[in-house]
Structure 1
């Protein structure tokens, strides 16, 4: 499975209804599970993003379907980055062309 970092910002609607945040997290986890995505970590952030979620997913298309479905609810906007674990990064460094 590939890793992804989802950087999330609340929309105006999302922050107005923030008291429903725990329910939305649970619904997001449930949707992810149904799509074959595993939540690894969710953190509240201080800075340019409000939430960071690290997930593992079978492929880019599955993550795209997830963020489109979540975003269509109107509470958040997402930025998605594909990630590579340290062991893969080290392999890349070992195989850099001269």
Structure 2
């Protein structure tokens, strides 16, 4: 999970952790937008309005749960291993 996060929300959470040695005045990173009400969830992937890796498919279809091995499960249309290496 920590060494190889595969969901944009997990990546966002990990990026928001303060790092030792960073300048004190630097602002912590945040995940953009607001969490939607459960009664007003978006179509497609429920994280799509706040995701920095969004593709068109995210707006229309909810991703299936994928077993990536080692007990690691993810719901995401984007192959984040490829996206992070760019």
Q: TM-score range by the shorter chain?
A: under 0.3
- Between structure 1 and structure 2, the one with the greater Rg is 1
Higher relative strand content: 1
TM-score (norm 1): 0.22
TM-score (norm 2): 0.24
Q: Quick one: higher RCO (CA 8 Å, sep 6+), 1 or 2?
A: 1
Higher relative helix content: 1
